[in-house]
């Protein structure tokens, strides 16, 4: 079921597609994230050409799901849920102002005790409020999964099937399970530091290592795998699509009409 995407046997070659641990990521300062090198192979081979290697953040799904999943679900669902909730509140004879003044709990209790809605609608009202609370209260993944399992599946399928331009999905990296690469978050690593990674770097030796995260419990930085072809090429193509865009003037709105005209 899992695609053969990563070569874990080669832990000495640092090149385009190399994945290493203990990478710095501003979004996860206290979690161990991975770095995926995207610098061109020819630049890495020509040691005097560049002073830094660029890498993308690769976050294990078990970490990513607790921070980056909620905003995706919230963006696509919150407005609709609030609209549905407001419609039921209005149907029960209340306004948004009433809801803001008295709070949902009191309004809900009044609706139930006075039978302002049908039993089916009351259940729907409670379900909608539970979903809205889940999205607005920065809930944990367990709670999100309870309310939005179908939505989570759709979001993951979009990422896995390359329909979300922000991410690239790696089925499994040994020791880290599924990993999600952020195609918009780029960091750099000094060549002098990168050259030490194939041999392993002890991060608790008192030295500074810009680009690596010294706050994580694992203090040994090394190569954990290489992205195989054609997946590295696909990843780089999708990465480039986010940044290599050509801006041109919009066509005239009447252009299609003008070329359709029949000469008299």
Give residue-wise pLDDT tens across range 144-187: 999 999 999 999 999 999 999 999 999 999 999 999 999 999 99
Give the pLDDT of residue 240.
93
Residue ranges making up the domain that contains 84: 69-139
**Same domain, yes or no, for 61 and 87?**
no
Domain membership flag for residue 100: yes
What's the rounded Cα separation, in Å, for the pair 149 and 144? Answer: 7
**Same domain, yes or no, for 203 and 225?**
yes
Radius of gyration of the chain, Cα coordinates, nearest whole angstrom:
25
Give the pLDDT of residue 246.
75
Give the pLDDT of residue 74.
96
**Same domain, yes or no, for 49 and 173?**
yes
CATH number of the domain that residue 221 is part of: 2.30.30.110
Q: How many domains does the chain have?
A: 2
**Same domain, yes or no, for 110 and 127?**
yes
Domain membership flag for residue 42: yes
What's the rounded Cα separation, in Å, for the pair 208 and 172? Answer: 31
**How much is the average pLDDT of 119-142?**
92
**Same domain, yes or no, for 133 and 169?**
no
* Residues 6 or more apart whose Cβ sits within 8 Å of residue 181: 36, 56, 57, 58, 59, 167, 168, 169, 170, 235
CA 232, 237, 239, 245: dihedral to nearest 10 degrees? Answer: 170
| Residue 58 β-bridge partners | 34, 181
For the segment 195-245, what is each residue's pLDDT rounded down to a tens digit?
A: 999 999 999 998 999 999 999 999 999 999 999 999 999 999 999 998 877
Write out the two tokens for 78.
Answer: 């919150």
Domain membership flag for residue 255: no
Give the pLDDT of residue 264.
60
Domain end point (choices 106, 139, 172): 139
Give the pLDDT of residue 248.
84
Domain membership flag for residue 151: no
**Same domain, yes or no, for 52 and 74?**
no
**Same domain, yes or no, for 58 and 182?**
yes
**Same domain, yes or no, for 168 and 61?**
yes
Q: Is the peptide bond before 245 cis (omega within 30 degrees of 0)?
A: no
**Same domain, yes or no, for 55 and 173?**
yes
What's the rounded Cα separation, in Å, for the pair 173 and 58? Answer: 11
Q: Is the dihedral of CA 243, 246, 249, 251 positive or negative?
A: negative
For the segment 96-130, what is each residue's pLDDT rounded down to a tens digit?
A: 777 778 888 888 888 888 888 898 999 999 999 99
DSSP assignment string, 101-155 = HHHHHHHHHHHHHTT-S-HHHHHHHHHHHHHHHHHHTT--HHHHHHHHHHHHHHH
Phi, psi of 175 (to 5 degrees): 95, -15
What's the rounded Cα separation, in Å, for the pair 52 and 16? Answer: 13
Give the pLDDT of residue 262.
63
**Same domain, yes or no, for 49 and 95?**
no
What's the rounded Cα separation, in Å, for the pair 52 and 187? Answer: 10
Domain membership flag for residue 145: no
For the segment 25-82, what is each residue's pLDDT rounded down to a tens digit?
A: 999 999 999 999 999 999 888 877 889 999 999 999 999 999 999 999 999 999 999 9
H-only helix segments in the chain: 41-45, 61-64, 69-91, 96-113, 119-136, 141-160, 191-194, 231-243, 255-260
Give the pLDDT of residue 263.
64
**Same domain, yes or no, for 77 and 191?**
no
**Same domain, yes or no, for 135 and 92?**
yes
């Amino acid at each position: 079921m899992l695609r053969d995407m990563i070569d874990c046997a080669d832990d000495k070659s640092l090149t385009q597609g190399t994945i290493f641990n203990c990478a710095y990521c501003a979004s996860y300062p206290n979690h161990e994230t991975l770095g995926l090198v995207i610098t061109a192979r020819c630049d890495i081979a020509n040691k005097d050409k560049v002073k830094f290697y660029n890498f993308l953040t690769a976050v294990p799904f078990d970490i990513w799901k607790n921070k980056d999943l909620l905003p995706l679900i919230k963006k696509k669902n919150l407005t609709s849920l609030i609209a549905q909730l407001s419609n039921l509140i209005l149907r029960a004879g209340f306004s948004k102002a009433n809801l803001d003044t008295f709070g949902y709990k009191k309004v809900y209790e009044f609706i139930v005790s006075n039978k302002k809605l049908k039993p089916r609608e009351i259940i729907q009202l409670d379900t909608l409020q539970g979903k809205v609370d889940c999205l607005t209260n920065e809930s944990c993944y367990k709670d999100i999964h309870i309310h939005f399992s179908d939505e989570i599946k759709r979001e993951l399928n979009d990422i896995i099937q390359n329909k979300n331009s922000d991410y690239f999905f790696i089925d499994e990296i040994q020791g880290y399970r599924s990993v999600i690469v952020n195609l918009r978050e780029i960091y750099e690593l000094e060549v002098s530091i990168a050259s030490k990674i194939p041999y392993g770097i002890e991060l608790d030796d008192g030295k500074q290592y810009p680009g690596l995260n010294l706050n994580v419990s694992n203090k040994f930085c090394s190569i954990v795998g290489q992205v195989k072809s054609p997946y590295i090429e696909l990843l780089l193509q999708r990465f480039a699509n986010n940044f290599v865009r050509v801006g041109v003037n919009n066509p005239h709105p009447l252009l299609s009409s003008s070329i359709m005209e029949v000469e008299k």
